[in-house]
Structure 1
Amino acid sequence: MRWEELDREPCSLARTLSVVGDRWTLLVLRECFLRVRRFEEFEQRLGIARHVLADRLKKLSDAGVLEKVPYQERPRREEYRLTEKGLALYPALQALLDWGDAYMSGPEGAPIIRRHKSCGHAMHAVQICSECGEPFGARDITAELGPGAQGEKLPSGVASPKGK
């Protein structure tokens, strides 16, 4: 598997990583969720080289995760806003934050507390089954071939659907 060919792998995780799979891209997305929109503000907050930032913003825009929206006409200036596709990445980033809070924080605890606006409580992400509503973890899941896997080489550990 070659890094530049991940978008063609028969695996949704590999295809996702082809868009968001490097540290700068994830940090750009973090800033987007903290409502940063303008190039100079990304640059200042991240301390990232201009060409690296421009590359990551272009990649996210080309993938439909961000869209460029004009905020000034003369001179024309644009800002980057999350699309629906981009907003759908929020649970993944929350899961990474929870992991970082649990395993990478110092003894003083998490550097940022996330608070639910509706109830006012500090919170963390929880995974629940979309069908029964029960929480689940890695040991509670099995994987089987889906309709998009026909004729493709699949990762080991993926079972055939029942009856096939």
Structure 2
Amino acid sequence: MIHPPDEPTQLGAGGDNAIAWAIGVFADEWTLLILRYAITDGVTRFQQWQDLLPISSAVLASRLRRGCEVGVLEQVAYEDKPLRQEYRLTRRGMSLWPMMASICGWEGAWAHGQAEPVPVMVHQGCGRAFEPLMACATCGEIVEPREVTGHFGPSGSWPRSAPNTTMRRRSSGSSALGPGFFPHTRVLVGNRWSAAMMGAAYLGAHRFSEFQRRLGAPATVIADRLRRFQAIDVLRAEGDGRADRSEYRLTDKGRAFFPVVMTAIEWGQRWFRAPEGPAVVFQHRGSEHPFSVLLRCSECRGALAGREIAVLPGAVVQPRRGAVPS
């Protein structure tokens, strides 16, 4: 099934909701990197991605084909004789820029020690390098992750939100990428179970049994992801040291990743709509209004738009206090 790129996909009642579809689209290491270069560098051609990434032709072809199927890319001929085609972002694909900007900002601030510097984003409105700040689109105030609450909406439940067997894909050996290429983001959302576990952590899961019960994931998968999340200081275990008895709490670094998750969920709910209503409903804590993301420039506090962000070659960014090297 190919999804129309410029209008929302209407989902069936009772099936996978917007969260499951969002996870199915971007929670894959290669897809994240393909989209990174498409959004930040304007890459459109097969050979360009191959020159930038240590990816096989078969894996690249499968990810580009999947991108077209879910409506984030479209094939366009740029030469007739012989026929040559490129892969351009659709409106659906371009609307992923808030998530990609949030990833760049978080990696630059928290995931230091990389082999490759993180791209520098410049707000053309003020001409300065910036980090995106999360604000409430309703009232305009800059908010911290703790000031946002969320609960399942009409189409929300763990069975409908967790990745199913048809949407999961095995890793294709992208560990060969090494320490560069958004390494910590890949740990957190580079595959289906990791992305689902991060969502569960933000929605209040703290114990091994809670992650397992909500997601229906094998115990070995839960244990592996908890170890990985602790290794990069996104979760911290509290308890007697046994995985099944400890409580896992988000660290400052883990909470700072919230804008990535939030923008991904909003993207999913914009483009994949269940007839019952949204999968998750968010509230600006202490207010009477709903919460949705508005990204602001850290330098001028102006609202950001994708067309106003220039991406420059990377530079080493000093980590925030409390960030732990990998």
Measured against the shorter chain, the TM-score band is 0.7 to 0.9
Once the 2 structures are TM-superposed, how far is the Cα of residue 123 of structure 1 from its aligned partner?
1.1
TM-score with structure 1 length normalisation?
A: 0.79
Task: Show CA shifts across 1:19-61 (max 9, x none).
Answer: 1111110000011011111001111111210001001111111
Q: Which residue of structure 2 lines up, in the alignment, with residue 18 of structure 1?
A: 24
The partner residue of 1:116 within 120, 123, 131 is 123
The CA distance in 2 between the partners of 1:123 and 1:137, in whole Å, is: 17
Q: Offset at 1:153?
A: 6.1
- Would the alpha carbon gap of residues 153 and 86 (structure 1) be closer, same or farther in structure 2, given more than 3 Å must change? closer
Q: Which has the higher contact order (CA 8 A, sep 6+)?
A: 2
1:77-103 Cα shifts (integer Å, max 9, x gaps): 111111111111111111111221122
Is residue 59 from structure 1 mapped to residue 66 from structure 2 by the alignment?
A: yes
Q: How many residues align?
A: 149
Q: Is the 8 A contact 2:43 2:49 kept in 1?
A: yes
Q: Which secondary structure state, in structure 2, belongs to the residue aligned with residue 127 of structure 1?
A: strand
The aligned counterpart of 1:103 is 110
Closer/same/farther in 2, CA of residues 13 and 24 from structure 1, 3 Å limit: same
Q: What SS does the aligned partner of 2:136 have?
A: coil
**Counterpart code for 2:49:** F
Distance, in Å, in 2 between the alignment partners of 1:84 and 1:26 is 17
User: In structure 2, what is the equivalent of residue 139 of structure 1?
Assistant: 146
Q: Is the 8 A contact 2:38 2:89 kept in 1?
A: yes
CA contact (8 A) 2:107 2:118 kept: no
In structure 2, C-alpha distance between the alignment counterparts of 1:92 and 1:111, rounded to whole Å: 15
2:78 paired with 1:71: yes
Distance in 1, matches of 2:30 and 2:99, equals 16
Among candidates 68, 92, 96, match of residue 99 of structure 2: 92
> What is residue 188 of structure 2 aligned with on the other side?
none
Query: 2:134, 2:91 → 1: CA distance?
Result: 20
Residue identity opposite 1:17 in structure 2: I
Report the 3-state secondary structure (helix = DSSP H, G, I; strand = E; otherwise coil) of the residue aligned with 1:105: coil
Would the aligned equivalents of 2:104 and 2:119 in 1 still touch at CA under 8 Å? no
On the 8 A contact 2:123/2:129 being kept in 1, the answer is: yes
1:129 aligns with 2:136: yes
Amino acid at match of 2:118: P
SS of residue matched to 1:92: helix
Counterparts of 2:29 and 2:160 in 1: how far apart (Å)? 28
Secondary structure of 1:57's aligned partner: helix
Structure 1 residue 106: Cα displacement: 3.0
What residue is the counterpart of 1:28 in the other structure?
34
Contact 1:24 1:56 in 2 (8 A): yes
- Normalized per residue, which structure has more strand? 2
TM-score under structure 2 normalisation?
A: 0.42
Structure 1, unaligned runs of 5 or more: 1-7, 160-164
Equivalent residues of 2:20, 2:160 under 8 A apart: no
Q: Does 1:50 align with 2:57?
A: yes
After superposition, what is the alpha-carbon deviation per residue over 1:129-162, rounded to whole angstroms, capped at 9, x for unaligned? 1100011222111113434349x76776589xxx
Partner of 2:286: none
Give the letter for the 2:91 counterpart. Answer: E
